[in-house]
Structure 1
């Protein structure tokens, strides 16, 4: 089954199968040692740079800022959710997201 992934509205939304699923302005707990020196970054997502899929996991590279230390930049691939039975299921927003390089 094919899954259509797109970044919409100048990086404000991730569309999965023509449905807006994930938006910017979220606060994510991220294990992102390449972004900042915090053990876990409290990342305010400001812009989606690109979107992709690894097996059934939908991932994105995002630009954001750690609210704890102020460091800003673009991350590696962060998992957003999975496609199950043709439907997108977002990961729990309170879970720690581990960046894949």
Structure 2
């Protein structure tokens, strides 16, 4: 099964199979690699690149840490997974750290 992933509205939305799934403008907690803060509170400003790696939908995100003010682009972050042909976003309250990521529960049919 092929999954179509792209960005819309100048990087404001992540589209999966022609459905707007994830937007920017929220604070995303990220551990490691973006700035010197122990936990980066990233104000996500735009998707720079999007990709599918197996079942994982990933993106590099431009933004700014609201703790220290550093701006830049993240490494690849998992934003969700395609399971049984459906996109399941990463729980937005979880820290963006591969070992601690959890997907949202399945949507009832």
Query: TM above 0.5, one fold?
Result: yes
TM (norm. structure 2) is 0.86
- 1:62-95: CA deviation from partner (whole Å, max 9, x where unpaired): 0001111110101110110000111100011010
- 1:49-72: CA deviation from partner (whole Å, max 9, x where unpaired): 010112211000000011111101
Within-5 A mapping of 1:73-92: 73-92=72-91
The list of structure 1 runs, each at least 4 consecutive aligned residues, that deviate by more than 3 angstroms after superposition, is none
Count of aligned residue pairs for this structure pair: 98
1:22 matched to which residue of 2?
22
How far residue 40 of structure 1 moved from its aligned partner, in angstroms, is 1.1
TM (norm. structure 1) is 0.93
Q: Which has the higher contact order (CA 8 A, sep 6+)?
A: 1
Look up the SS of the partner of 1:39 in the other structure. Answer: coil
1:64 matched to which residue of 2?
63
Q: Which runs of 5+ in 2 are unaligned?
A: 99-109
Contact 1:32 1:75 in 2 (8 A): no
Higher gyration radius (CA): 2
Give the strand-richer structure, 1 or 2: 1
Look up the SS of the partner of 2:92 in the other structure. Answer: coil
